[in-house]
Every structure is written in C-alpha cells, then in structure tokens.
Chains A and B, each alone.
Chain A
Amino acid sequence: MFAALGAAIIAIPLLALLVRVPWSGLVDAATSDVVRDALLISLVTSLAAAVVSIVLGVPLAWVLARTDAPGRGVLRALVTLPMILPPVVGGAALLFAFGRRGVLGEWLEQSTGLVLPFSIWGVILANTFVALPFLVITVEGGLVAAGTRREEAAATLGATPWHVFRRVTLPSVAPAIRAGAILAWARAFGEFGATITFAGNLPGRTQTLPLAVFVSLDADRDAAIAISLIMVVVSFVILLTLRDRWWSGSAR
C-alpha cells in the first residue's frame, strides 16, 4: 500500500507530463535551434563535470576512506554538503568565490583574463559543485567495502604506494567509480539552480536543457514539454540500461 503510494508520487506527475506532450509538433519543437544548442551544452557540461568529478573525487574518496587524517568527519560533511544545500545557495557561493569581485575570481581575471560566470566554464564548475559529492560518497563506500587486505598484501610484496593504488585499489573500486560517475553525471544533467545563479542564462552559450525548460515554460509551453520529455527519456533510458549491469557491481 505505502509502496504503491510511493511509486505513485513519482509516477503521476511524469504521466501528467506525457498527457500534455504535443505529439504532432514534437519533432519540430525537439529539433529547434534552441533545443539543439541546449542539448549540446547540457551533454558537454554534464560529461565534463563527471570527468572532473572522477579526477578530483577519487583521490578525495581515498583520503576519506584510507587515511586517518584529522578532521575527516568534518571533511566528509563538507564534501557532501552540496547534496543537501539548495543549489541556488551553491550558485551564490560560487559567485562570491569565483565572481569578478569574488575572493578568487578577481585574482583569476587579473592574472589570466578568465571570467568564469556567464561562460560555459562556469556551467561546468556549477555542475561539478553539485555532482562531485555523489562520486565521492559512492567511491568511498566502494573503498570501505573492498577492504585493505589486498592492498596490504601488495605492499608487503614490495609494491610502492602509487603502484598499489593503480594496480590494486583502482581495479577493486572500478564498479563504484562507474556508479558514482553515472550518479554525478545524472545530477549534473538535471542541474538548474546553481547554474542559473552562477553562469546565467544565454541560449547557445550557457543555456542548458533545464534552463531552456524553465524559460520556455511561460511562453512556449509545447517546447518546454518537448524538452522535458527529452530529459525524462534520456535519463530514464540511461538509468534503466545501466542499473543492473553497473550499479549492482558496486553493491557487491
């Protein structure tokens, strides 16, 4: 009974969306320039955020799982904070840090001429901010589950720490990294609040699919529903096809 209610809370709004889909004009709406640009920007920035999350998140997860550095509890809470924080708060915080009058942004502009807000780099940064925690906690869970026995054995046999990390640790948490990367990508793909606050909204430059939905919902409802449908289908298909093959790997 409660299970059915739980499923219904999620399923009913999505079905209501389907009911409103303008099937006849769908192709036109879905292939318009605005939608094509937004889809491209969304794919590029969400994939970039997933890659950055892997590069930065795996070492971070390793520090959390394998070292006894002081303040790990605080670090873990800090790193997972963007999962609960309203994204708009994250976007404002990014603006205070990397905006042109921000603590780092001013220095960045003077020394390199790079301005992050209102650029695609800003979208990637905002996406990474919200996506990174998903990778970190997934990989940390994988590291804890994998244990340290094989790493210790390799070290006893004379392997250097870097060699142990590359040849023993990484392969053992590969499923967790894949699962974490998918979660991070999915979170970045749907990101809205931090992006619009930090990177603004300009079609063809920083307007991702969620922003395009929000902007066109008022004026061009059919386009908004068409984009929403694209997002639902893309996300659902990816979760559906990857779930069994990849996610279960990390659970074991």
Chain B
Amino acid sequence: MSSRIGAALGAVALVASACGSGDSGSSIRVAAASSLTDVMTELAAAYEAASGVEVELNLGASSALALQIEEGAPVDVFASADVALVADLRERTSGIGAPVEFATNDLVIAVRVDADGRIDALDDFTDDDLLLGACAAQVPCGGYAATAFRLADIDPALDTEETDVRSLAAKIASGALDGGLVYRTDVVAAVDSLRAIDLPAEAAVDAVYGAAAVDRGGRDTSYGSTESGDDFVEFLLSSTAQEILSAQGFGPP
C-alpha cells in the first residue's frame, strides 16, 4: 500500500519536474504588467527567435508582480507599467537591476464601439447614472487615473475599482460598464469592441514603463529558468522590440 503511495508521489514529482524546466534547457521567466499582455507575447516570440532562449511569461498587475518578486518568486525580468514601482522594489529588495525605461503609454477613456455617446469627455465621470470604472489606486493604471482626475479637478462617481487594467477593459468591452480609464494600448488590443476618447490636455498623464533584470540567486538549482534577464532587458530597447511596441500603440521611452 505504502509503495503504491510512494509510486504515486513519484509520478507527481516526475510530472512537476517536467513542467518546471523547458525541454531545450535555456529559458528565462518574465513577469510583465497585464497591459503588456499582447505585446509581451510578441516580444517573447521575437526574442526566442533571435536568441534561442525560451521565454516564460507571468502576466498580472504590476503591483501584484512586485509583491511576488519581493517574496522571492523566481523571475529573471520584471516589466512594470510604472517605472517608479521597479525603483521602489529595488530599494526594498536585493537582486533587482537598474530599471530601464522601454516604453510609454497614455490613459484614455474607453467605451464600446457601439456606445450611445453618453460619455464623450472626462467630465462625464461625475454622472451617477453611468456605470464607470477605473483601476484601484494600488495598481499603476489606478495611480495614473487618480492623477488624471486630480489634474482635471474631477471627483469621479466610480462603480468599481478593478485590480488589473485588462479586467477593467474586459468589463467595458462586455457592456458591464459604460466606460472606464484604461491605457490607449488596451483599446488598440481590443479594437473590435472598444473605442478611445482622449483625455483633455490638462489631465493627460504619461505612463512610463520600466523593466529590470532580477537575480535572487539560486538560478541553477531551483529557479527552473537558466539564463540571466540582462539580455532581455537590453533587447527591449532594440529596434526590433521598439517596432513591435510601436505597432501595438506604445510610445518610445
């Protein structure tokens, strides 16, 4: 009986180790902001083609990723929607490289393509009858949104503060919300269902994306990935990467 349990545990361990390490051997793990979801998939493919190093992506709210890294998550690169977040993490935690600015973005009002026009300016965010969303202040897009509202001197009547920008964009696209503040690139990525309305000039905020290599030690034994993240961070500034970013609506750093 116990040998059977042992065999079962052995099988589980075998599967787990097979999942953990790539077949070819050389790989890196990249933790990236959820607003980078589409573009990072393309960037990873381009990097794999150029370097032969496999890229595993861990996508989520930048602030949640920072927490995971601070608690020791094995990643080689951290790409955040707010370069300041990388700098903060670097002060609190060892093993974080110098942050490199690799892209910019800006906030827009997103509405459905078939929206009835009840939202056409940031002022409409005071309308109680509309269902409106932004990101929670703890995640970068929420911090940027709070800045935009402050600059425009608007006290928004929000109905939800989402924990990552892509879930906010999805709720607007599905019609659950009438509108919300997302990145311009989120609208580009969902161009069939979303339309962007620019913020007034006085409320415009620039989102500056930053990436840093992460090395928490122990890469050879327990990381699961094998390569340093330095190359990938450098790659983000290459013309190949910048063309991919630009095609998805990101601005140059």
Asked if A pairs with B, the answer is: yes
User: Which A residues are closer than 8 A to B by beta carbons?
Assistant: 95, 99-101, 115, 117-118, 196-197, 200-203, 205-206, 214-221
User: Which of B63, B161, B162, B176 is A95 in contact with, Cβ under 8 Å?
Assistant: B176
Give the dominant DSSP class at B's interface.
loop
A-B contact pairs, 16 of them (CB 8 A): A99-B174, A99-B175, A99-B176, A100-B176, A101-B175, A118-B159, A200-B171, A201-B160, A201-B162, A202-B160, A203-B161, A205-B159, A206-B160, A215-B138, A218-B138, A220-B138
Q: A99-B175, A202-B159 are in contact. List 20 more A-B contacts (CB 8 A).
A: A95-B174, A99-B176, A115-B131, A117-B176, A118-B176, A200-B133, A201-B160, A201-B162, A201-B163, A202-B160, A202-B161, A206-B160, A214-B163, A215-B136, A215-B163, A217-B67, A218-B63, A218-B67, A219-B138, A220-B138
Assembled-state Cα–Cα distance A217/B66 (Å): 11
Residues 103-147 of B at the A interface (beta carbon under 8 Å) = 131, 133, 136-139
B158 interface hit (Cβ, 8 Å) = yes
How far is the CB of B82 from the nearest CB of chain A, in Å?
12
Assembled-state Cα–Cα distance A187/B239 (Å): 52
Closest-by-CB residue of B relative to A199 is: B160
How far is the CB of A11 from the nearest CB of chain B, in Å?
20
B61 interface hit (Cβ, 8 Å) = yes
Assembled-state Cα–Cα distance A197/B177 (Å): 12
Closest-by-CB residue of A relative to B158 is: A202
Chain A residues, Cβ within 8 Å of B203: none
B contacts with A, residue count (CB < 8 A): 23
Closest-by-CB residue of B relative to A220 is: B138
User: Which of A99, A100, A101, A218 is B61 in contact with, Cβ under 8 Å?
Assistant: A218
B244 interface hit (Cβ, 8 Å) = no
Q: Are B174 and A196 in contact (CB under 8 A)?
A: no
User: Which of B138, B160, B167 is A216 in contact with, Cβ under 8 Å?
Assistant: B138
B64 interface hit (Cβ, 8 Å) = yes
Assembled-state Cα–Cα distance A251/B136 (Å): 45
Chain A residues, Cβ within 8 Å of B167: 197
Chain B residues, Cβ within 8 Å of A219: 63, 137-138
Q: Are A100 and B139 in contact (CB under 8 A)?
A: no
